[in-house]
């Protein structure tokens, strides 16, 4: 598995930057700088991995909210508010 694919997978599992750096034998400070600037392939892979997992979780949360889960409804209301504030 190549570096970019591995970063995306680990980020999607919500491993920390330090954990990913240690597992992949890359410099954590450099990796953190890459992520902060957001332009490198590493940074994009990290963000993509994280966001793909967030999408899966939110999809399930919305499904549970539609089925009447009060906890899920509260979470979804927060998502809606955040989305509206960002428009």
Domain boundaries, the chain: 3-86
Q: What mean pLDDT comes out for the span 23-32?
A: 97
- Alpha-carbon distance values, 19 to 2, 15, 32, 52, 54 (Å): 17, 6, 12, 19, 19
Contact 62, 72 (CB under 8 A): yes
pLDDT at 47: 97
pLDDT at 1: 80
Q: What mean pLDDT comes out for the span 3-20?
A: 98
Across all residues in the chain, what is the average pLDDT?
97
Q: What mean pLDDT comes out for the span 10-16?
A: 98
Quote the Cα angle for 63-69-70, to 5°.
130
Contact 51, 37 (CB under 8 A): no
pLDDT at 62: 97
């Amino acid at each position: 598995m190549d570096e970019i694919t591995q970063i995306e997978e680990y980020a999607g599992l919500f491993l920390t930057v330090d954990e990913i750096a240690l597992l992949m034998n890359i410099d954590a400070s450099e990796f953190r700088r890459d992520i902060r600037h957001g332009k490198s392939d590493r940074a994009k892979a990290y963000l993509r991995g994280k966001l793909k997992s967030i999408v899966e979780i939110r999809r399930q949360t919305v499904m549970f909210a539609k089925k009447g889960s009060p906890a899920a409804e509260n979470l979804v209301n927060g998502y809606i508010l955040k989305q509206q504030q960002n428009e």
